[in-house]
Structure 1
Amino acid sequence: MGRVKHFTETMSGTWQKKSESGFERPLPFSFNVTALVEEAVKPLGTVNAALRGTIDAESLAEGSPVTGDLEMSPVENKRVRYRLAFTGDDQRQYFFDGWKSISWLRPISTWTTLPGSIEDEEGNIVGKADLKFDLTTTPKFLKSFGFESRALETRRFDGKKGRLEVWYDTFSDPDTGYGYWLHHEIVSPFEDEPYAHGWIGVFPPNESPIIERFGPKPVKEGSSFDIGEVRVSPSYESVHGAALRVGSAGNIEWNLKVEGGEDPLYTFPKFSWENELLPACQVVPHPSATFSGTIKIDGKDQILKRAKGGAARIYGHGNAKKWAWLHGDLGGGDVVEVVAAVSMRKGLAKIRALPFVQIRIDGKDWPKKPLFAAAKFRATFFEDGFEIKGRLGRKRATIKVDQPKERCLEVAYKDPDGKTATCINCERSDIYVLVERRGRKGWETVKHVQLEGTGHSEIGIRP
């Protein structure tokens, strides 16, 4: 899948309603839209994008969802055209059509000025608008540009038999000490029809964790995971630019917003994710995300304001023969991600567990090539945790994970071929991370972190 571009823009100003005597007094008008560009950028040609967002027009449509398209043709046609459709407060359909008339002699004024007309569903002009781009919001506008997270969030399943696709979120609430695990799966068996299901796990401090399941349900058309009562909405589909998690299972309900998360973290090589070169791959589109919203347990609301964690993805042919996984937020955008696994494939099943390790410190990911580095690391499994050790060049790392039995959930997995596995998951694990660099005076500490009860980890085993 190629790189997909997206950005969010706000245009604001006024609109005037048309009446028999002319145009009435100006009223506030603005829209905030995210543009999704799926075709190659053509600097001298025309590029089209889909738009979605919200519109606020006093006495017409206040806070209404809006969809439409954007034609970017600043050289070829000397314009950038916006066409938007929305439902008014009177429940009628309306359309905005306007464009920036680009002049390269006056780039600032022409790129920031957007006049347009407003029509009703019968094609009658009901008003006009004059909008501006606020130059003081330029830093926010530039920051909204993204490339890869959309492709990483989008569903990959295309109907093939023998496939497993997963969206999963793990996060910790610093205000309550709770850990959470949201797991969504599409399973495509070799013999039966594809189905979608999943679960939510809650890990309270000093109490046994609980789990509630949703599904199985038939797989619906769409760009993500959606079975009606449970939905994963990628960030590019949200009017706020944040990914959404909404659903209910048993006595638990949730409505969450997932924001930020820094650049994607490729635990496995990027090319293997894009081209399905391995039996299964994992990637973390949002490795250091903030989760906010509500989780209702037995009718009691848990309000999340600044829970930290990761939003990850898996796609492949099924689960490993044996595996260990870790996600740890090390603070300040630093993060550690580990997947150590033994493949189910013939010829690979006898190879020891290969640890794929990614440690992000100060915005730099190490090792740079996780596939080649995997041979330099060793994974040791214990009954209640695991340890990863390795050296690559002048750096070495020691990662220890302790997941006490009383903090764990045991969850049964089922692969597309019908074989089963057991996942022992802990969203309140204790982790130890030490990264060192060899200098003139010996080994020097680069990063040393110990986390108690905020690590996210699991061990997978077969019967």
Structure 2
Amino acid sequence: MRTEARFPKVPAEDGHYESFYLKAAAPEGGRAVWIRHTVHKRPGERPTGAVWMTWFDADRPGPVAAKHQVAADEISVPDKAYVRVDESEIAPGRVQGVINNGTSASWNLRFKDHGGPLHHFPAQWMYERPLPRTKLLSPHPSASFDGILDVAGERVTIEAWPGMVGHNWGSEHAESWIWIHGATVGEDGSRGYVDIGAGKAKLGPLTTPWIVNGEIVHRGERLRVGGLGRALRTRIDAEPTSCRFTVGGEDLVANGAVSAPRDRFVGWVYADPVGPEHHSLNCSIADLEVHVSRSGREDISIRVEGGASYEFGTRRTDHGVDVQPFPDG
């Protein structure tokens, strides 16, 4: 197991949130599924769980979304699984579940790995200590999915869809955040990806600059980008439906852009264990372009059309994206 659920060890008096999620996109672009399993715990209270699903189809007028929330007794960590929420379970190599709450959806998927895990933070202590308050890793940053998805009366056959499985947790969400993921398959069959997370943290009355951590994989080469030491040289121009970024690595600079039309985004309410809510805006059929300049080496250009994920987390409410009517927490 490349990661494990943290919520069973959280003291009763503490707050906590945790998420295991996946994204799988059609190789030709324009269709993708995003599934999320969460645990939310307010200080001194028992946790709640939820299963979230969004089906993105460029031929539809907008995303199809569903969510099912449950009490603590319906959350568990089965043997050889990451987490189970009611009838939905995510484990290494498989994901299955069902939602019958307004929009009906069910899925039975299997996935293969095409590389090792990605720990966005450079040091293990950052995952073990209270700070940073938000932890992020991708146990399966490069995967391919097969199986069946039934959503809103439509059956979708998923065959070799590239995607990923992620895991995050903490005592509170970042003040603002972005997450970008795009999977690539080369003409020679080589697998690659762009997996970048960035956040602004609240430190008393101050808010930090964007801090980026991530990785670009191209033709088997893993290129780390970001880090606390490069924060002042990082540029992030993030808006609700688009982002341009410049981030450095060892002897490299990556410039990129990700975007999608507003009507292809889904909006969700994300609750913190303590404090006000965020809106999380997500599109998993976005367009992504990245250009990597390397000192003394050939440049790299990456493009994902209609199959990249862009998530924008914010306290803003003027973003113009329809927010789903489901409460959180």
TM-score (norm 1): 0.61
Query: Given residue 216 of structure 1, which amino acid in structure 2 is its aligned partner?
Result: V
Matches of 1:369 and 1:178, distance apart in 2? 30
What's the CA shift for 1:299?
Answer: 3.1
Q: Is 1:378 matched with 2:228?
A: no
Matches of 1:189 and 1:355, distance apart in 2? 28
Give the match's secondary structure for 1:211: strand
Identify which of 374, 383, 387 aligns with 2:244. Answer: 387
Identify which of 21, 35, 43 aligns with 1:168. Answer: 21
**Partner residue, 1:155:** 5
What's the CA shift for 1:365?
Answer: 2.3
Equivalent residues in 2 for 1:13-24, closer than 5 Å: none
Give the match's secondary structure for 2:124: helix
**Partner residue, 1:415:** 272
Identify which of 355, 358, 368 aligns with 2:215. Answer: 358
Give the match's secondary structure for 1:215: strand
Give the match's secondary structure for 1:367: strand
CA contact 2:29–2:305 (8 Å) conserved in 1: no
CA contact 2:95–2:107 (8 Å) conserved in 1: no
**Partner residue, 1:405:** 262
Matches of 2:311 and 2:210, distance apart in 1? 15
What's the CA shift for 1:191?
Answer: 4.3
Distance 1:384 1:341, change over 3 A: same
Equivalent residues in 2 for 1:191-340, closer than 5 Å: 191-207=44-60, 208-219=62-73, 220-223=75-78, 224-232=82-90, 234-235=91-92, 242-249=93-100, 250-272=103-125, 274-276=127-129, 277-331=131-185, 332-340=190-198
Equivalent residues in 2 for 1:22-171, closer than 5 Å: 150-152=1-3, 154-157=4-7, 158-160=9-11, 161-171=14-24
Query: Given residue 356 of structure 1, which amino acid in structure 2 is its aligned partner?
Result: N
What's the CA shift for 1:243?
Answer: 2.8
Q: Could you list the per-position Cα deviations for residues 332-366 of structure 1 after superposition, in whole angstroms to 9, with x for gaps in the alignment? A: 2211111111113426x422111223112233322
Distance 1:272 1:202, change over 3 A: farther
Matches of 1:346 and 1:309, distance apart in 2? 37
Matches of 1:360 and 1:205, distance apart in 2? 27
Matches of 1:459 and 1:302, distance apart in 2? 27
State, as a whole percentage, how many aligned pairs show the same letter.
21
Matches of 1:427 and 1:309, distance apart in 2? 10
Query: Given residue 183 of structure 2, which amino acid in structure 1 is its aligned partner?
Result: D
What's the CA shift for 1:396?
Answer: 1.1
CA contact 2:37–2:85 (8 Å) conserved in 1: no
Query: Given residue 262 of structure 2, which amino acid in structure 1 is its aligned partner?
Result: K
Structure 1 spans left out of the alignment, 5+ residues? 1-149, 236-241
What's the CA shift for 1:325?
Answer: 0.8
CA contact 2:290–2:302 (8 Å) conserved in 1: yes
User: How many residue pairs get matched?
Assistant: 301
Query: Given residue 435 of structure 1, which amino acid in structure 2 is its aligned partner?
Result: V
Q: Could you list the per-position Cα deviations for residues 372-426 of structure 1 after superposition, in whole angstroms to 9, with x for gaps in the alignment? A: 3444322111342111103345311101111220110011110111420001100
Structure 2 spans left out of the alignment, 5+ residues? 317-329
Matches of 2:238 and 2:214, distance apart in 1? 16
Identify which of 188, 196, 202 aligns with 1:344. Answer: 202
CA contact 2:18–2:169 (8 Å) conserved in 1: yes
Distance 1:327 1:446, change over 3 A: same
Runs of 4+ aligned structure 1 residues displaced above 4 Å come to none
**Partner residue, 2:321:** none
CA contact 2:234–2:246 (8 Å) conserved in 1: yes
**Partner residue, 2:290:** 433
Distance 1:211 1:163, change over 3 A: same
TM-score (norm 2): 0.84
Matches of 1:263 and 1:397, distance apart in 2? 22
Q: Could you list the per-position Cα deviations for residues 170-220 of structure 1 after superposition, in whole angstroms to 9, with x for gaps in the alignment? A: 110236731111011111111432111131000011221010001132153
What's the CA shift for 1:446?
Answer: 2.6
Distance 1:307 1:392, change over 3 A: closer
CA contact 1:269–1:369 (8 Å) conserved in 2: no
Give the match's secondary structure for 1:320: coil
Matches of 1:322 and 1:199, distance apart in 2? 21
CA contact 2:225–2:248 (8 Å) conserved in 1: no
Matches of 2:180 and 2:125, distance apart in 1? 20
| RCO higher in structure (CA 8 A, sep ≥6) | 2
Query: Given residue 183 of structure 1, which amino acid in structure 2 is its aligned partner?
Result: R
Give the match's secondary structure for 1:226: strand
Query: Given residue 95 of structure 2, which amino acid in structure 1 is its aligned partner?
Result: L
Distance 1:293 1:433, change over 3 A: same
CA contact 2:199–2:211 (8 Å) conserved in 1: yes
Matches of 2:221 and 2:232, distance apart in 1? 21
Matches of 1:414 and 1:286, distance apart in 2? 26
Give the match's secondary structure for 1:406: helix
Matches of 2:246 and 2:161, distance apart in 1? 29
